[in-house]
A and B are shown apart, each in its own frame.
Chain A
Amino acid sequence: MSALAYGVAAWLFLVGLYGIVTSRNLVHLVVCLTVVQASTYVLLLAIGYRSGAAAPIFADISPNRRVVDPIVATLTLTDVVVEATVAALLLSLAVQAHKRFGTLDPNEIGALRG
């Protein structure tokens, strides 16, 4: 049971990597990259988890309650922002590639350029 969360992170990473390697479409490739990045959220949050602990929001729990680590949650927030920006930039590059080469298939783009 305790290894499950880490296993999910590793699985997401490898599945996303498989998608990137076999991708035939640049937009699909960007989505696969976000799957890879999602594995880092799972890993970060799994590391910070403490069994039986509550979320570190003291609005409605006792101040002495055991809470999960707030640092990894903050890092995950940074991670999400970085992912969104990476996806936005890559998608605009995909738009430009499609305008220039008329295709979104990475193999064909390579073939056209030689």
Chain B
Amino acid sequence: MVVFGCGAAGFAALLAWGLAGLPSFGHFDGAYGQLLAHITVPERKATSVIAVTTFDFRGFDTLGEEFILFTAAVGVLVLLRLQRGEEQVPADPQTPREPVAESLSLRSVATALVGPVLVLGIYVVAHGALTPGGGFQGGVVLMSSFLLVYLAGSHLRLGGSRPITAMEVAEATGAAGFVLIGLGGLVLAGTFMENFIPAGTRGSLLSGGDVPLFNIAVGLEVMGALLVVLGELLDQRLLTRKESD
């Protein structure tokens, strides 16, 4: 604790020194950001500068970012796979391993929320180029609607037919779709990730060229990856380690 105290005090001093060198709060004057902010609407017709920056101007970074997520989901699958000395406990309705929350109110609220949350997720993904939101944010909302299905039902009953394959397919489709749209730019416009779709009119749902497509691909990918991770973690309840190992 004393060691940490000394270290933290020294670190705090360094941090304060470093922060003092930053531009004072509210007076940032990065030219790049302002340039992007003011050419986005005339050039791409989409109104959300952040979405256009993410998927168009800095699309290549987002490609890497998406594959971080993809790799992490694969990593979780590898880490939590059935290992030596483990066995899958069959989802036997007789065993007293029912989910803790069997209350009727939880079930009815969760069931009632599935539809609205799903629609909200699709809305956030589809309007990513216009208003705050986009594929990453909407993907998380879509994921939570599937989580509500889990809450509304009983996990162990889903045990046999849990659609983990479908989740993996959704994830892979999203990742592949992102690359394919990028390749579309290479084929049709000459440069990888180049925007090759007409920008449309300002404020309409299909404005921004390929930004809405990227949003949909990322939405699928995020939803699939998070569902794979959560599904794998929830599955751990069903695993036991043999005593004799």
Listed in ascending order, the chain A residues whose CB lies under 8 Å from chain B are 1-6, 9-10, 13-14, 17-18, 21-22, 46-52, 55-59, 63, 67-74, 77-78, 80-82, 84-86, 88-89, 91-93, 95-96, 99
- Chain B residues near A6: list those with CB within 8 A: 19, 22, 25
- Chain A residues near B80: list those with CB within 8 A: 92, 95-96
Say which residue of A9, A47, A49, A88 sits within 8 Å of B229 (CB atoms): A88
Give complex CA distance A57, B130 in Å: 7
Question: With A55-B132, A81-B136 as given contacts, are A69 and B30 in contact (CB-CB < 8 Å)?
Answer: yes
Task: Answer yes or no: B50 CB below 8 A from chain A CBs.
Answer: yes
A63 to chain B, nearest CB (A): 5
- Within B138-179, the residues touching A (CB, 8 Å) are none
Contact B76 A50 (CB under 8 A): no
Residue of A nearest to B4 (CB): A21
- Within B170-191, the residues touching A (CB, 8 Å) are none
A–B Cβ pairs within 8 angstroms, 30 of them? A1-B25, A3-B19, A3-B25, A14-B11, A14-B12, A47-B28, A48-B28, A49-B25, A49-B28, A50-B29, A51-B25, A51-B27, A57-B48, A57-B131, A57-B132, A58-B40, A58-B47, A63-B38, A69-B28, A70-B36, A70-B50, A71-B32, A72-B33, A74-B54, A78-B61, A85-B68, A92-B76, A93-B79, A95-B79, A95-B80
Nearest 4 interchain pairs by C-beta: A51-B26, A85-B72, A69-B33, A2-B25
Contact A69 B34 (CB under 8 A): yes
Give complex CA distance A113, B48 in Å: 53
- Not counting A89-B79, A92-B76, A93-B79, a sample of 4 additional A-B residue pairs whose C-beta atoms are within 8 angstroms of each other reads A14-B15, A50-B28, A57-B49, A69-B30
Residue of A nearest to B226 (CB): A84
A56 to chain B, nearest CB (A): 4
1/0 per residue, CB under 8 A from A, across B60-95: the answer is 011001001101110110011000001000000000
Contact A78 B33 (CB under 8 A): no
Question: With A63-B41, A67-B49, A95-B236 as given contacts, are A49 and B26 in contact (CB-CB < 8 Å)?
Answer: yes
- Chain B residues near A18: list those with CB within 8 A: 4, 8
Say which residue of B4, B38, B53, B79 sits within 8 Å of A71 (CB atoms): B53
Give complex CA distance A94, B234 in Å: 14
- Chain A residues near B136: list those with CB within 8 A: 77, 80-81
Say which residue of B8, B69, B131 sits within 8 Å of A81 (CB atoms): B69
1/0 per residue, CB under 8 A from A, across B111-134: the answer is 000000000000000000011100
Contact A47 B22 (CB under 8 A): yes
Say which residue of A10, A63, A70 sits within 8 Å of B15 (CB atoms): A10
- Chain B residues near A73: list those with CB within 8 A: 50, 53
Contact B50 A74 (CB under 8 A): yes
Residue of B nearest to A5 (CB): B25
- Chain B residues near A81: list those with CB within 8 A: 65, 68-69, 136
Contact B19 A78 (CB under 8 A): no
B21 to chain A, nearest CB (A): 11
A110 to chain B, nearest CB (A): 17
- Chain B residues near A67: list those with CB within 8 A: 34, 37, 49
Give complex CA distance A96, B175 in Å: 28
